[in-house]
Structure 1
């Protein structure tokens, strides 16, 4: 089951209303620039001061031009703005990097900051030519609309096949400062561990050294965004990026030994987890969020391997959609994971959000169970699959969704 994060002060981290504009010193905007027919499709996130920055990128060998430019601009660990268009991925285009660089120049000129302090992202159709004109025509309005309440507008502008915006924010106490952390994300299809067709933009008013921020983000992403899957496809444009502008006034975190870092890491985990779950729950055509908890594993790697394989299995996903308690599919998925274990020891339980539970496998073998109860549990909006390996004390959680007819409808005509 998902590891619960606790700290000495029970109320140290609390959920608050908001998104990337929750932390002090951040503004955002979103508008329709013409990349899509009607909906908002251009977002801007801006810090009033230069920030520490860190990013984690897709593991796909084919990478979108915006990722290459953002990587180059992030080398010094500093940035001040993020711009993102939706509807066109700017990937596999001969002039893709030229366009992405020109976008950064436009933003830099409009905000009166260095173009190297601008990070760029794109999401949408791959291999479709991208014109600079919508950026040029919309830049003035985009900057003019920047607002401390504009986070939800930006969240809308980065969506593709998503059904709703994804945003989350928290507030936490450090030794000498109150810090806020917020984020927005998008993703619905082409979602698979090691990043997917997803973007995550996170902001905080924490003061932290860039290299430490990078290490912390990477660790947290491995336990959140890299533990979700919708359809097994890893995209070309995915990234999670964070800006930390220091406006909270805390003493800058510079060492892993500092207690404040652990509090920040817990808060970042909570925000990334909620944004990741929102992506899995909003999977294209999905009707059920699947949470796979692997417990009593020999180590975390074993637990993660099993959890990710189960939520990535197309046969498991379709069985959930059909409300079919097919134990064989679960055992099969567990069995072809990269984990080594003795399957004669494992137990499997199906559990609904209201904590109804049923055991469907004991000691590696199917058991007699109430099919009607299993059918009812599988019909929940949020299903948990709890797998006990009985080989140690480690655990891991992965999130996915069922696979429905609507997924095929959406993706069979994606470009049209």
Structure 2
């Protein structure tokens, strides 16, 4: 794990945070659907949001708040209705959500950030929200992270949570995170939500830069189905309650904190890809030999997102031609004679030429990954070398099964 260790607690592991999750009646299923994360003090806030031109009201709301003042006390997330493409009334509903919570917490509405997930075109059920907010605030707890993580999911099969700890200035510093996402997942903040808390003291511009770089290497490098959501949001708070020296520029301490932030984001991103709708395994693609990290990630994301590659892996077919084809259309120039491809430990293609390999054994490798679903050995690893460059990059995805179509064919019916 490097210079940090895994701990329990999720978003309430860092000092000075409470969280809660309840069933407010937003979901017809009766499952938990309203979550809250609160910092005891004002926290530096940063965010990365969907690049879609069709955006949820909460996304525009958060962007406007963070442009004026990069700080916040609370994150409120409703699950069940996306409140996207809901017009002027959707914007009013978002603002009322913040106002209601602000009155209950005794803080300014501008100190609250919002997130929503669910069916596009559906407004938040405001009557349920109005009744739920007082109950939500009443159960805020330093052990409420798991309840919050359960309240933000939709088609997810599992909750997604992590917390890490390191030492800065001889004092412990912690970062925790929760996330949701299973379908409508594709690079460019691809519906996914992630909330990160930290107790370090970091300057606002540096915290935003750290989060953006971490997102590019993690959440922006996953894909399930090629669809970017209207609601994608990654929001990170850091409140300084660790009482460590303030980090105002990159250096040894800044690098350590960003490394831990990236580790948290990568864990959550992989958990989303692993839990892709209908998926039976996680796919990890690593590209080496590129001239830039961006180019390497672009090829890796193209391979991980290829429907043909994903279908072949679901069929346990080690069809390296589909991998080669995806690499070639990624928009990154390289010499075909430099291309090599490995599937796990199986070398399939080397220096532009097919290689004899045990197809049955390679197929078994793919089957074993599916049998290890939701465990740490459920990963199909694809390695691609495109030349003699010094840069590399990774992307994560999942296989494409029959169940993906079943889940999404009747999503609103």
> In which range does the TM-score fall when normalised by the shorter chain?
over 0.9
Match of 2:17 among 7, 18, 26: 26
**1:325 equivalent in alignment to 2:318:** yes
Cα deviation code 1:259-292 (max 9, x no counterpart): 2111100100100000000000000000010000
SS at match of 1:59: coil
**Mapping for residues 302-321 of structure 1, pairs under 5 Å:** 302-321=295-314
Give me the whole-angstrom Cα distance separating, in 2, the residues matched to 1:302 and 1:242: 27
2:373 is matched with which residue?
A: none
**1:17 equivalent in alignment to 2:8:** yes
Give me the whole-angstrom Cα distance separating, in 1, the residues matched to 2:295 and 2:93: 43
SS at match of 1:80: strand
SS at match of 1:92: coil
Match of 1:383 among 345, 367, 380: 380
Pairwise CA distance, 1:363? 1.4
1:298 is matched with which residue?
A: 291
2:396 is matched with which residue?
A: 399
Cα deviation code 1:306-350 (max 9, x no counterpart): 101000100000000001111211111011001110121111111
**Mapping for residues 89-100 of structure 1, pairs under 5 Å:** 89-94=82-87, 95-100=89-94
Give me the whole-angstrom Cα distance separating, in 2, the residues matched to 1:192 and 1:363: 30
Match of 1:281 among 271, 274, 277: 274
The answer on whether the counterparts of 2:290 and 2:387 sit within 8 Å (CA) in structure 1 is: yes
Give me the whole-angstrom Cα distance separating, in 2, the residues matched to 1:114 and 1:67: 19
Cα deviation code 1:349-401 (max 9, x no counterpart): 111xxxxx111111122222111111111111210001112221211110000
Say which structure is richer in helix: 2
Give me the whole-angstrom Cα distance separating, in 2, the residues matched to 1:365 and 1:290: 24
Give me the whole-angstrom Cα distance separating, in 1, the residues matched to 2:124 and 2:234: 22
Q: TM-score, normalised by structure 2?
A: 0.95
Match of 2:346 among 358, 364, 376: 358
Pairwise CA distance, 1:296? 2.1
Give me the whole-angstrom Cα distance separating, in 2, the residues matched to 1:129 and 1:87: 9
Which structure 1 residue ranges, 4+ long, deviate > 4 Å from structure 2?
A: none
The answer on whether the counterparts of 1:18 and 1:168 sit within 8 Å (CA) in structure 2 is: yes
Give me the whole-angstrom Cα distance separating, in 2, the residues matched to 1:110 and 1:205: 24
Matched positions, count: 401
Cα deviation code 1:211-250 (max 9, x no counterpart): 1111110011000000000000001001100011110001
1:239 is matched with which residue?
A: 233
SS at match of 1:242: strand
Give me the whole-angstrom Cα distance separating, in 2, the residues matched to 1:260 and 1:314: 41
Pairwise CA distance, 1:142? 0.1
The answer on whether the counterparts of 2:78 and 2:117 sit within 8 Å (CA) in structure 1 is: yes
* Range with greater deviation from structure 2 (392-401 or 293-302): 293-302
SS at match of 1:377: helix
The answer on whether the counterparts of 2:335 and 2:387 sit within 8 Å (CA) in structure 1 is: no
Give me the whole-angstrom Cα distance separating, in 1, the residues matched to 2:410 and 2:173: 44
1:49 is matched with which residue?
A: 41
Q: CA RMSD in A?
A: 1.1
**1:187 equivalent in alignment to 2:181:** yes
The answer on whether the counterparts of 1:57 and 1:240 sit within 8 Å (CA) in structure 2 is: yes
The answer on whether the counterparts of 1:196 and 1:238 sit within 8 Å (CA) in structure 2 is: yes
Give me the whole-angstrom Cα distance separating, in 1, the residues matched to 2:361 and 2:162: 34
2:137 is matched with which residue?
A: 143
The answer on whether the counterparts of 1:302 and 1:340 sit within 8 Å (CA) in structure 2 is: no
Match of 1:374 among 362, 375, 379: 362
> Any gaps of 5 or more consecutive residues in structure 2?
370-377
**Mapping for residues 96-245 of structure 1, pairs under 5 Å:** 96-245=90-239
Pairwise CA distance, 1:302? 2.0
Q: TM-score, normalised by structure 1?
A: 0.95
SS at match of 1:20: helix
Give me the whole-angstrom Cα distance separating, in 2, the residues matched to 1:260 and 1:327: 43
Match of 1:79 among 41, 48, 72: 72
> Any gaps of 5 or more consecutive residues in structure 1?
7-11, 352-356
